[in-house]
Amino acid sequence: MLAVILSGGSGTRLWPLSRETYPKQFLPVVSDETLLSETLLRGLSVDESARVMAVTNEEHRFVVAAHMQRLAGDRADSIVLEPAGRNTAPAIALAALAAQSGAPDELLLVMPSDHVLKDLEAFKASVAIGSKAARDGKLVTFGVVPTSAHTGYGYIRAGEESGGFLEVSGFVEKPDEATAQQYLDEGGYFWNSGMFMFRADRYLEELGKYQPDILDACERAFAGREGDLDFIRVDKAAFEICPDNSIDYAVMEKTDDAVVVPLDAGWSDVGSWSALWEIQPQDEQGNVCRGDVIIEDVSGSYIHSEGRLIAALGVTDHVIVETDDVVLVADRNRVQDVKRLVAQVKAQGRDEHRFHKKVHRPWGTYEGIAMGERFQVKRITVNPGASLSLQKHHHRAEHWIVVKGTANVVRGEEHIMLTEDQSTYIPLGFQHRLSNPGVIPLELIEVQTGSYLGEDDIVRFADTYNRV
């Protein structure tokens, strides 16, 4: 079995914790593990020989790779990169084509990377039922047993039962409250989880039958693939002409072989702050508090601090989220409208929708500490054995002070080894490179000075990670 993890989303509904460059699947919003970590471990748990594959984009590739290397080891299959977002039907087609190149009838378990499932054993039991149907050529979707008249999910209408699974009678869009209550009262309706299972060859066969233009574009893109470190790069030009469509619309609503397996495992798509509030333990007043929080006369609220103390008094049904650069205060019943705030941030030409103050790179992280006219201060962490690119800047000079660890520095023709409390200066226009030869993270303070301090003032001459 091959667990295919879809990890291409931007997660704006959990802004400001989730940002475009580091969305919710990379965050530990429910436990000490990230949502992607929990999804990877879930995929590996279904079978001792199960492997994992990820489908992601250019921007997130190194974060996904780090998760795969840490958790999957030799059970990591590959990471397929989408040159552009084209929804789930093409993404799964690329995964199926990659899997089929090894075994045409490879069984695929497709899971979004940012969902929560509390009951692993119940999930594994549903997968076991689904695998029997999938091996027989069925296209399986997992329908979550509803616990409320939820209006935020699409629904699956089930038909006749056979062997632990049910025929799919139809898919219905997100209902209004009265319709959702009717579904709950009638029974036979399930929340659409967005998880699937089928043989690679069967999915491609049905995709070719109902959406031949998608299959053709994906086959052309995959045929032009190139290897790059741990990644499979498909042909960009071929993939960009692929139609944008979800697997539900493209295949599952049309095929005669769709079946649904009930799933009762404490599922949530963590699609909003109110959803996060719902699935976590609450105090006697119905509050969920994470981080440094003090409250008095507060009820029904979700309060999350990333660093600074949050003190709340006399509020009800609120969401308060603090990060290094943004504080969100919202009515818990209005959190679906957070996207309107994100739209305003974009319209004002700001960066808070894309970046956290701490920015992740394949070699480690950097974090802005202070900025003024012609200067900027950053905290840089380089992972053991990692190296930045050999580069230069046209508009800035840099001063490096080592706080912890050992730094190997290339500066022009010089090679310098720096340890704690030592420093060096990189003049404007000098080729330079920073590496960590040690076994602990290298931490340093960088002071930039110059006429322009943007991240695009980089000319790379060599790079371990094949960046431009």
- What is the rounded end-to-end Cα distance, in angstroms, of the chain? 35
Read off the pLDDT band of 363 (50, 70, 90).
Answer: very high
pLDDT value at position 8? 83
451: exposed, middle or buried (Cβ count in 10 Å: 0-12, 13-18, 19+): exposed
12: exposed, middle or buried (Cβ count in 10 Å: 0-12, 13-18, 19+): buried
pTM to 2 decimals? Answer: 0.89
Tell me the pLDDT of the chain averaged across its residues. Answer: 94
pLDDT value at position 408? 97
Quick one: which of 371, 330, 442, 441 has its CA closest to 17? 330
Note the Cα 422 to chain centre separation in Å.
38
CB–CB of 345/353 below 8 Å?
yes
Q: CATH classification of 2-268, choosing from 3.50.50.60, 3.90.550.10, 1.10.287.3510, 1.10.760.10?
A: 3.90.550.10
pLDDT value at position 144? 94
39-46 average pLDDT score: 95
Asked if CATH classification 1.20.140.10 holds for the domain at 358-462, the reply, yes or no, is no
As a whole-number percent, the residues of the chain with pLDDT over 70 amount to 100
Q: For 97-234, list the strands marked E by DSSP.
A: 107-112, 116-117, 139-144, 155-162, 165-172, 189-199, 226-228, 231-233
Read off the pLDDT band of 277 (50, 70, 90).
Answer: very high
Note the Cα 319 to chain centre separation in Å.
22
Asked if the model's pLDDT at residue 413 lies above 90, the reply is yes
Rounded distance between C-alpha atoms, residue 196 and residue 182, angstroms: 26
Rounded distance between C-alpha atoms, residue 429 and residue 451, angstroms: 13
Q: Which residues pair with 379 in a beta bridge?
A: 367, 445
150-158 average pLDDT score: 90
Asked if the model's pLDDT at residue 102 lies above 80, the reply is no
Rounded distance between C-alpha atoms, residue 333 and residue 213, angstroms: 41
**Contacts with 393 (C-beta within 8 Å, 6 or more apart), sequence order:** 428, 429, 450, 457, 458, 459
* Structure tokens that stand for 18 in this block: 């989730």
**Contacts with 273 (C-beta within 8 Å, 6 or more apart), sequence order:** 13, 14, 302, 319, 321, 330, 332, 335, 338
CB–CB of 17/338 below 8 Å?
no
pLDDT value at position 264? 95
Number of helical H runs and strand E runs in the chain:
11, 30
Report the range of poorest mean pLDDT among 111-120, 129-138, 177-186, 436-445. Answer: 177-186
In whole angstroms, how far apart are CA 216 and each of 164, 338, 443?
Answer: 35, 38, 49
Rounded distance between C-alpha atoms, residue 92 and residue 246, angstroms: 10
pLDDT value at position 161? 85
Asked if the model's pLDDT at residue 466 lies above 90, the reply is no
For the stretch 289-332, pLDDT in tens is 999 999 999 999 999 999 999 999 999 999 999 999 999 999 99
Rounded distance between C-alpha atoms, residue 123 and residue 262, angstroms: 10
84-104 average pLDDT score: 92
Peptide bond between residue 112 and the one before it cis (omega within 30 degrees of 0)? no
Quick one: which of 348, 328, 296 has its CA closest to 17? 328
**Contacts with 147 (C-beta within 8 Å, 6 or more apart), sequence order:** none
Q: What are the φ/ψ torsions at residue 150 (nearest 5 degrees)?
A: -80, 130
**Contacts with 163 (C-beta within 8 Å, 6 or more apart), sequence order:** 129, 132, 133
pLDDT value at position 389? 95
Domain ranges of the chain: 2-268, 273-346, 358-462
CB–CB of 83/224 below 8 Å?
no
CB–CB of 199/108 below 8 Å?
yes
pLDDT value at position 104? 82
71-88 average pLDDT score: 93
86-111 average pLDDT score: 93
* Structure tokens that stand for 83 in this block: 């040159």
pLDDT value at position 164? 81
DSSP 281: -
Sign of the alpha-carbon torsion through 419, 466, 239, 67? negative
Rounded distance between C-alpha atoms, residue 209 and residue 196, angstroms: 19
pLDDT value at position 10? 74
148-168 average pLDDT score: 88
DSSP H stretches of helix in 146-235: 177-186, 200-210, 212-223
For the stretch 165-213, pLDDT in tens is 899 998 988 888 899 999 998 888 999 999 999 999 999 999 999 999 9
Asked if the model's pLDDT at residue 468 lies above 80, the reply is no
pLDDT value at position 407? 97
